[in-house]
Structure 1
Amino acid sequence: MAALLSCPRRHPSVHLLILTLFIASLLPILDGLELGGDGLYREILRDETVLRLKELGKLSSPNTALLYVNQISDGEGYLERTFLSPASIRASHVIISWMKDAGLTTWIDQMGNIHGRFEPTNSTKEALLIGSHMDTVIDAGMYDGSLGIICAISALKVLKLTGKLQRLTRPVEVIAFSDEEGVRFQTTFLGSAAVAGTLPESILRVSDKSGTTVQDVLKLNSFEATAAALGQAKYSPESVGSYVEVHMEQGPVLEALRYPLGVVKGIAGQTRLKVIINGSQGHAGTVPMKLRRDPMVAAAELVLTLETLCKQPNKFLTYDEECGCFTEESLAGLVCTVGELLTWPSASNVIPGQVNFTVDIRAMDDKVRETIVTSFSRLVLQRCDDRLVDCTVEKKHAASATPCDAELTSQLERAARSTLSSMTTMTSSPAAAAVPVLMSGAGHDAMAMARLTKVGMLFVRCRRGVSHSPEESVLDDDVWAAGLALVNFVDQNAVAPATTPETATAEVAAES
């Protein structure tokens, strides 16, 4: 090759042709094996990704109450990583190192979101954003949120090692959002709402159970913590083409269908309420039953009222004018949950003075959800009035149902189908004639990002549909399938075709 290039009698275009043909001959080697094959794809998208999930799953805040109850000395197996906690900061450093390993330029914005981006030279196209959240619930599993982040990083690492990262035609960016669960401040999507530009200035004054505000936490971690600074995290709609999120299903459908992957057509709307009941605190042994104003009993009645309302809404409500009821389709996905109940002073021999509890209401139909919220709020006031206690209902969060973009959904379905077909001979995955299309009852960062751009989601099968629990489990091969599908998706939508010997010859001939 050196001798051919050094020959002084050859036309410069011939030199270029020889060099181009030589580089083109290496592309099959750089590209690795076919999707679904062994080698780099499996080693990175399955083996390395699973190891990284386990590593991130060890970065946790301690839970002294749990350690006391179980008399555990080291808290092994417990996972809690809330917004900008010390555990979250440690996780940030690790995620940044993985992003750099994938060839991405990294930074942290003013809401603590971690970004890793590859910017093609002279590209004027809108960016493809891929992300999920790095925070967890209390006593969490290691897949919720983290799976989508690490799968995305691994997919771009494969593109880097196969030479395809340099052939991107549009910017591709991975975002690890700082808060989606809303555990610490009882308000979800702090990270993704900041990027979407929908985070209100008032969020800075919201406090956690200890009285620490969002602004306090940001300042403690060296962020500016001003409204102007939060505005810097906002992306302009013109700069973003789409957002895609990989997430464990958090439900049992894919496992029942025996499919590793599914695409999401929409996300249920969600409302979070806080009910505060004030009664008369007193001695458990001296206050007669007929003279009590007990907020605990009122709370118990209201929890049962909520359950009945959501199990049998047509007994309480009318909505459809023709049938005088909710339709079966409109009620799809309606679920109501009381997940937290706090009492004061919380002593066995004291009638509580105050009881607070949370309410989570979700439905695919926003009109159904809003009607349930209104009806329950009215029932709270009625029941509390009957029991001579004082009640207030605070709306902590509300998000409309979010449809996924039809084109993105179709593209993700094709990528998943191609992936599963290529994996059929190597795993227990079925050949995918039709990848399942699902609705999501759980909220995701895609809900916030839909205010910025079109969104698409890919679900990954999980064992028994268990989530928000240490029992979360995703098969290693399903992690692999998700990574392969992302590689497939990016390859089809953002990677320019490789130069072949034939196209190189034609290009040089045209140039001559």
Structure 2
Amino acid sequence: MISTFIFFHSFLFLYILSTPSSCSSFLSGIETGDLEKRGDLFPQILRDEAVARLVELGKVSDANDYLERTFLSPATTRAINLIRKWMEDAGLRTWVDQMGNVHGRVEGANANAEALLVGSHMDTVVDAGKFDGALGIVSAISALKVMHVNGKLQNLTRPVEVIAFCDEEGVRFQTTFLGSGALAGILPATTLEIPDKRNVTVKDVLKENSIEAAEEMFLQLKYDPKSVWGYVELHIEQGPVLEQVGFPLGVVKGIAGQTRLKVTVRGSQGHAGTVPMSMRQDPMVAAAEQIVLMESLCKHPEEYLSYDGRCSGSSIKSLSSSLVCTVGEISTWPSASNVIPGQASDEFPKSC
């Protein structure tokens, strides 16, 4: 089942690249089983090799028992080398930019035309699934490899560039889209000074990887919008909606805008066995109430938001179906079983 899924989506990429104007009509009425029987679609590349590469990339991890690859970690460095090798195998010219994004490009028949960008991110969350991000990278490379083997890569009407973005999840530095943000020119220079939990900054990590980080770097990385024809990304849904409604795929009209908040609640630290309940100011309890309130707000925003002229009824309706929030991390100080904490901190992303 998984191999068929990978084959179908790699095939979609192939036809988007080779016959963009007639792709939708070509696909109409064709079953996945019919596609696999066609001898000209190279199932050994679009299916077998693609699945093998996803499995291989899924084993490139900084942890032993689960998948974790964060911004320019040792595992990410290994993933960069692996992805770059696959790109070169597909006939692409490759390079790694100053933010750690991996690029593979073919100029096609008209090197001066606007380029089609495709790809996804190579970083992961903690204990990730192997398809998250990797599917979009591997499928794009597989499609281009088929064209390379067929001798049609240079017949593309415009340049095509596959990008494996260095950071989308924002796990290490709690700031998302470092890779794509740099290419879009929206990252401020202050991004270089953001520290991780070990107080290592983005700038430090870049230097560790022999990349000299400076404010001018962001200007060099930014893509001229006039040089880009469009962007296509294949991504696993990671949710239950498509499966629940019985759809094999969906076309994304927009992405979630994310805000990350770190909230610290301070109380009165004390011994757990001697401070009466009536005299306690326990920040952990207050944090728990806060989390429950946030859950309720995101489930029923219409009960909390007021109509003040700026928030219309349609906005409320949209929020009711799209707003999500998650408390993904909580900690206390001093974090001992027999001590009432002096403070509790929780971090949660809010998306809509």
- Higher Rg: 1
CA RMSD in angstroms comes to 2.1
Please identify, of 155-164 and 171-180, the stretch whose mean Cα deviation from structure 2 is larger: 155-164
Q: Of residues 128, 134, 139 in structure 1, which corresponds to 2:122? A: 134
Aligned to 2:51: 50
Please identify, of 283-292 and 35-44, the stretch whose mean Cα deviation from structure 2 is larger: 35-44
Give the TM-score normalised by structure 2. 0.85
Q: Of residues 98, 104, 119 in structure 2, which corresponds to 1:110? A: 98
Give the letter for the 1:177 counterpart. F
Alignment map for 1:164-203 (pairs within 5 Å): 164-203=152-191
Give the letter for the 1:362 counterpart. S
Alignment map for 1:314-329 (pairs within 5 Å): 314-319=302-307, 327-329=316-318
1:223 Cα deviation (Å)?
Answer: 0.5
User: In structure 2, what is the Cα distance between the partners aligned to 1:322 and 1:339?
Assistant: 31
Post-superposition CA distance 1:42-78 (Å, at most 9, x none): 111111000000000000012xxxxxxxxxxxx34x1
Q: Of residues 339, 355, 376 in structure 1, which corresponds to 2:344? A: 355
Aligned to 1:453: none
Alignment map for 1:213-232 (pairs within 5 Å): 213-232=201-220
Alignment map for 1:287-326 (pairs within 5 Å): 287-319=275-307
Aligned to 1:9: none
Cα separation, partners in 2 of 1:308 and 1:237, compared to 1, 3 Å: same
User: In structure 1, what is the Cα distance between the partners aligned to 2:131 and 2:311?
Assistant: 43
Q: Could you say what secondary structure the match of 1:219 adopts?
A: helix
Aligned to 1:338: 327
Question: Does the 8 Å CA contact 2:328/2:347 hold for their aligned counterparts?
Answer: yes
Cα separation, partners in 2 of 1:205 and 1:321, compared to 1, 3 Å: closer
1:320 Cα deviation (Å)?
Answer: 7.2
Q: Tell me if 1:163 matches 2:151.
A: yes
Post-superposition CA distance 1:166-213 (Å, at most 9, x none): 101211000000000000000000001011111110011100111111
Q: Could you say what secondary structure the match of 1:267 adopts?
A: coil
User: In structure 1, what is the Cα distance between the partners aligned to 2:311 and 2:233?
Assistant: 39
User: In structure 1, what is the Cα distance between the partners aligned to 2:304 and 2:244?
Assistant: 33
Question: Does the 8 Å CA contact 1:274/1:358 hold for their aligned counterparts?
Answer: yes
1:312 Cα deviation (Å)?
Answer: 2.5
Alignment map for 1:26-45 (pairs within 5 Å): 36=36, 37-38=38-39, 40-45=41-46
Aligned to 1:211: 199
Q: Tell me if 1:242 matches 2:230.
A: yes
Q: Could you say what secondary structure the match of 2:253 adopts?
A: strand
Question: Does the 8 Å CA contact 2:300/2:320 hold for their aligned counterparts?
Answer: no
1:269 Cα deviation (Å)?
Answer: 2.5
User: In structure 2, what is the Cα distance between the partners aligned to 1:157 and 1:324?
Assistant: 49
Question: Does the 8 Å CA contact 1:318/1:324 hold for their aligned counterparts?
Answer: no
Cα separation, partners in 2 of 1:54 and 1:324, compared to 1, 3 Å: closer
Give the letter for the 1:349 counterpart. N
Post-superposition CA distance 1:216-239 (Å, at most 9, x none): 111011101111123322111111
Post-superposition CA distance 1:377-419 (Å, at most 9, x none): xxxxxxxxxxxxxxxxxxxxxxxxxxxxxxxxxxxxxxxxxxx
Post-superposition CA distance 1:450-489 (Å, at most 9, x none): xxxxxxxxxxxxxxxxxxxxxxxxxxxxxxxxxxxxxxxx
User: In structure 1, what is the Cα distance between the partners aligned to 2:123 and 2:72?
Assistant: 9
Q: Tell me if 1:95 matches 2:96.
A: no
1:309 Cα deviation (Å)?
Answer: 1.6
User: In structure 1, what is the Cα distance between the partners aligned to 2:311 and 2:339?
Assistant: 49
The size of the alignment, in residue pairs, is: 317
1:330 Cα deviation (Å)?
Answer: 4.7
Q: Could you say what secondary structure the match of 2:302 adopts?
A: helix
Alignment map for 1:375-454 (pairs within 5 Å): none
Aligned to 2:10: none
User: In structure 2, what is the Cα distance between the partners aligned to 1:277 and 1:112?
Assistant: 37
Cα separation, partners in 2 of 1:116 and 1:133, compared to 1, 3 Å: same
Question: Does the 8 Å CA contact 1:35/1:41 hold for their aligned counterparts?
Answer: no
Give the TM-score normalised by structure 1. 0.59
Identical counterparts, % of pairs: 63
User: In structure 2, what is the Cα distance between the partners aligned to 1:45 and 1:112?
Assistant: 27
Cα separation, partners in 2 of 1:258 and 1:314, compared to 1, 3 Å: closer
Aligned to 2:267: 279
Q: Could you say what secondary structure the match of 1:166 adopts?
A: helix
User: In structure 2, what is the Cα distance between the partners aligned to 1:320 and 1:341?
Assistant: 34
Aligned to 1:498: none
Aligned to 1:144: 132
Q: Could you say what secondary structure the match of 1:285 adopts?
A: coil
Q: Could you say what secondary structure the match of 1:47 adopts?
A: helix
1:322 Cα deviation (Å)?
Answer: 12
Aligned to 2:27: none
Question: Does the 8 Å CA contact 2:302/2:316 hold for their aligned counterparts?
Answer: no
Cα separation, partners in 2 of 1:300 and 1:322, compared to 1, 3 Å: closer
Query: Structure 2, unaligned stretches of length 5 or more?
Result: 1-33
1:161 Cα deviation (Å)?
Answer: 1.1
User: In structure 2, what is the Cα distance between the partners aligned to 1:139 and 1:122?
Assistant: 43
